[in-house]
Structure 1
Amino acid sequence: MKIAYVYDAVYPWVKGGVEKRIREVSVRLAERGHEVHVYGMRCWDGPATIERDGVMLHGVCPGEGLYIDGRRTVPQALRFGSSVFRPLLASGADVVDCQNFPYFSCFAAKAASMRRGTPLVVTWHEVWGDYWYDYLGRRGAFGKAVERLAAGLTDHHVAVSPSTARALEGLGVAGPVPVVPNGIDLSRIAAVPPAAEEWDVIFTGRLIRDKNVDLLLRALVRVREEVPDLRALVVGDGPERPALERLARDLGLPVTFAGFLPDYDDVIAAMKASRVFVLPSTREGFGIAALEAMACGLPVVTVDHPGNAAGDLVVEGVNGFCSGLSAGEMGEKIRAALDGGALMRDGCLRTAGGYRWEEIVRRIESVYGRSVGDVSSEMWEEGV
């Protein structure tokens, strides 16, 4: 098959969960004999189309920042959505897989797929629903309406977590929606040695409001009362970083803000040199960093929230803990994970073992095959 992926940000120039999923899946699909193309912003120097690890990357418009004041910008999403239509129309793809966010590209992909008579698969990493009002205030009604319209663009949807699949059915998508989760490269993770510098607590991710790293910092104040020599590492960058660094100083916390590390193996090495991974986010469509931490043998402390699919990965006391949104409770869960981490190591590794990329790729390949077959059947019945 000739497969086209659509997402504005491209790995490794932008390092996030969606970008990483597309990269890992596309490279493995290419190894299995498929022709794979990724259409995004041109985040790199040089020609608009380049080959990387057997996958063709197409920069359909100049790269630009994704966030202003911690929020995804509508003008950027519109520019990318309008720019991707013609390249998709000329792509010759057998199937197009468009990531649901930031939505406008889904409509462009739908128009191109209709013109070409090829199936459109929309992969859903999150469903925001009423969260749109928290994100945009009264303008959230517009975002919520666009999300519902995007859910009606195709009959071929994929959800990356069970909670996202359930939320899609709430948008009117006929179920059951196939769940194809994110995965991890267990052999690569196993081969990475721990970093030389050790940490008690680690967080990795974009420093945006919904990650709630401020909650983690306040929780560490409680932990430090019983662990005076506590050391914490925050890996990542984003608009919240200056405020978080100020808060850490005001709280007198020994927290190191490392920014984005230059290589994926560096992140894994830092995890392996840590004792507990904390993900206080209330907006996670899957929680790949939590799964990677489990693959490193780290218990995960995350929050119990309907918007946080990482909670689906956690079995209480077996591979981590779920906390409420209070610093006191999160501090208690972090202490429990620090105390019981060695006993939970096997549970963490067992959980991670169920998410190998090789199995994920076989599942997504099956979804694409069914979608192509469905469109071919429809065209046959219509006499096309």
Structure 2
Amino acid sequence: MKVLLVSHYFPPHLGGIENVVAEQARHLAAAGAEVVVLTTGRPGGIERLSDGVRVLRVPAWDGLQQRAGIPFPVPGPRLLTSALRWARWADVVHVHDGAYLTSWAAGLAAAVTRTPMVMHQHVAIVDHPATVVRLVQQAVWGTAGRLMLRRAERVFVLNDSVAAFVESYGGRVEHLPNGVDTTLFTPLGDKDLARKRLGLPADRVLVLFAGRLVPKKGYDLLTAAAGPEYDLVFAGEGHDGVPASGPGVHHLGRLDPVRLAEAYRASDVFALPSTSEGFPLTVQEAMACGLPVVTTDDPGYASYRLDRERVRLLPRDAAVLRATLAELAGDPALRDRMGRWSHSYATGNFSWPAHVGVLLDRYPATREVVGRG
């Protein structure tokens, strides 16, 4: 089975989508598939990873992320020729998110080479504070994005809100939760040592935020919800306007997965008041690490059947968020009950091998390839 995975970013660039693609690639290869990842970055020929995955990075201008925090790389002309070559090689083209130039090139290449294509759609239209960004999103999904969703033989989604979005454009939907690496993201470890390594106070309740420091993720809302009962810890990179570290606020910057796992273990509560997301990978990682989770009450979470007594799903309101965090900060027994439930839920529901097993079963070319074998 030859799989071409397509993503606008890939590690070492840090982010939710790129982490999902990396885990898919690794586990597909472990299951016996040949995997090539087409992405952007500094070119250097075909990069062979230790797990057998091959990565092709196409040079791209990334000024929008560097200047405004908008993750939208603009690749050069090499993208289309690379997409055509590897789509012709592949048995299936698996595209992540239909809003990027890498996705459009892969979709065109799949159509030209008549290679089956599936998609992963991670989010719907994001309620961005900038009017121009909202208008651009609407234009994208009214044109190229719509064509991508309609042409895909199957569109995998993380929650019900994204499913409704995809269906509104004519896409064929299948719900598929992401997995989580429960050997890396685990509650086992020395919390005091983790705090010391990260330079965090030993005697404070720590509320962790992990993600890009952009309005969509809700870092500004969490900052507004600061209270004397707890300290806020931010793990992620942002842009101009992000407040500096000070009393009660700690910025760890961008962390690789190993350091991020340590940050989860160092913390007492995980908070992500984001908007317009699927089921964020950081929420799954925090749950696997045994943290109580406070996040936005997104109707798309309905299919996960979360226990609202064990996961706090809140409106995006700073006062409500502050009151909830203060309650958790003052009740260690409640934090313990919520954390134990989080860990149990994550280990029982988020499995990368099971995720990849569904992919291999659903890929359009699977039966044909198995038959040829």
Contact 2:294 2:312 in 1 (8 A): yes
Identity of aligned residues (%): 27
1:136-151 to 2 correspondences below 5 Å: 136-146=133-143, 147-151=145-149
Task: Note the residue ranges of structure 1 that are not aligned, 5 or more in a row.
Answer: 378-384
Aligned to 1:280: 273
Aligned to 2:308: 316
Aligned to 1:27: 26
The structural deviation recorded for 1:159 is: 1.3
* 1:209 equivalent in alignment to 2:209: no
Tell me, in whole angstroms, the C-alpha distance in 2 between the residues paired with 1:42 and 1:141: 27
1:359-374 to 2 correspondences below 5 Å: 359-368=354-363, 370-373=364-367
* Post-superposition CA distance 1:73-104 (Å, at most 9, x none): 4xx34x36x53322232221111111124333
Q: Which moved more, 1:88-97 or 1:61-70?
A: 61-70
* Post-superposition CA distance 1:11-43 (Å, at most 9, x none): 1x2111111111111111111211100011134
Tell me, in whole angstroms, the C-alpha distance in 2 between the residues paired with 1:233 and 1:112: 43
Distance 1:16 1:66, change over 3 A: farther
Task: Note the residue ranges of structure 2 that are not aligned, 5 or more in a row.
Answer: 197-201
Aligned to 1:121: 118
Q: What letter is aligned with 2:40?
A: M
* 1:236 equivalent in alignment to 2:241: no
Tell me, in whole angstroms, the C-alpha distance in 2 between the residues paired with 1:138 and 1:112: 27
The structural deviation recorded for 1:233 is: 1.1
Tell me, in whole angstroms, the C-alpha distance in 2 between the residues paired with 1:137 and 1:292: 29
Distance 1:173 1:299, change over 3 A: same
Distance 1:312 1:255, change over 3 A: farther
1:1-384 to 2 correspondences below 5 Å: 1-11=1-11, 13-43=12-42, 47-53=44-50, 54-62=52-60, 64-65=62-63, 67=65, 68-73=67-72, 76-77=73-74, 79=75, 82-91=77-86, 92-128=89-125, 134=131, 136-146=133-143, 147-174=145-172, 177-190=173-186, 193-194=190-191, 195-197=194-196, 198=202, 199-221=205-227, 224=228, 227=229, 230-239=230-239, 242-245=240-243, 253-261=247-255, 263-305=256-298, 314-318=306-310, 320-338=311-329, 339=331, 340-353=334-347, 354-368=349-363, 370-373=364-367
Two-structure CA RMSD over aligned residues (Å): 2.8
Tell me, in whole angstroms, the C-alpha distance in 1 between the residues paired with 2:268 and 2:357: 33
Structure 1 runs, 4 residues or longer, greater than 6 Å off = 129-133, 374-377
Tell me, in whole angstroms, the C-alpha distance in 2 between the residues paired with 1:128 and 1:50: 33
Q: What letter is aligned with 2:55?
A: L
Task: Name the SS for the 2:274 alignment partner.
Answer: coil
Task: Name the SS for the 1:316 alignment partner.
Answer: coil
Contact 1:94 1:118 in 2 (8 A): yes
Contact 2:154 2:171 in 1 (8 A): no
TM-score by length of 2: 0.85
Tell me, in whole angstroms, the C-alpha distance in 1 between the residues paired with 2:129 and 2:370: 37
Q: Which moved more, 1:59-68 or 1:341-350?
A: 59-68
Task: Name the SS for the 1:322 alignment partner.
Answer: strand
Task: Name the SS for the 1:244 alignment partner.
Answer: coil
Task: Name the SS for the 2:276 alignment partner.
Answer: coil
Task: Name the SS for the 2:275 alignment partner.
Answer: coil
Contact 1:70 1:209 in 2 (8 A): no
TM-score by length of 1: 0.83
Q: What letter is aligned with 1:41?
A: T
Distance 1:160 1:65, change over 3 A: farther
